[in-house]
Amino acid sequence: MELLGALIVGGLAGFLAGLLMKGRGFGLAGNVLVGVVGGILGRWAFGLLGLYSDGGFLGSLVTATVGAGLLLALAGWLSRKR
């Protein structure tokens, strides 16, 4: 059940990050992947700042969305460097 929750939060976070980053989404499967990896990246980045989510749905969604946005920004930056 935990995996299903991570996929739902990841999908929503990837979708929201794609909207916030001006249409840099990758479709449904790509958004889920970006959202799940973004959740890991967001948790790490927030940990560096001393901010921790309570583990609830909204906290997880915000963390994953911020992380997915960072991931999309990094991917955009790297693609421009080529």
Q: What is the pLDDT of residues 16-36, one digit of tens each?
A: 888 887 765 677 777 788 888
Residue of 67, 68, 75 lying closest to 18 (CA atoms)? 68
* pLDDT greater than 80 at residue 81: no
- Residue 57 is encoded by which pair of tokens? 């749905």
Q: How far apart (Å, rounded) are the C-alpha atoms in residues 39 and 68?
A: 7
- Rounded to the nearest integer, the mean pLDDT of the chain is 82
Number of domains present in the structure of the chain = 1
Q: Return d(Cα 10, Cα 26) in angstroms, integer.
A: 13
- Give pTM, 2 decimals: 0.81
- Domain enclosing residue 75, as ranges: 2-81
Phi and psi angles of residue 23, each rounded to the nearest 5 degrees, phi first: 75, 25
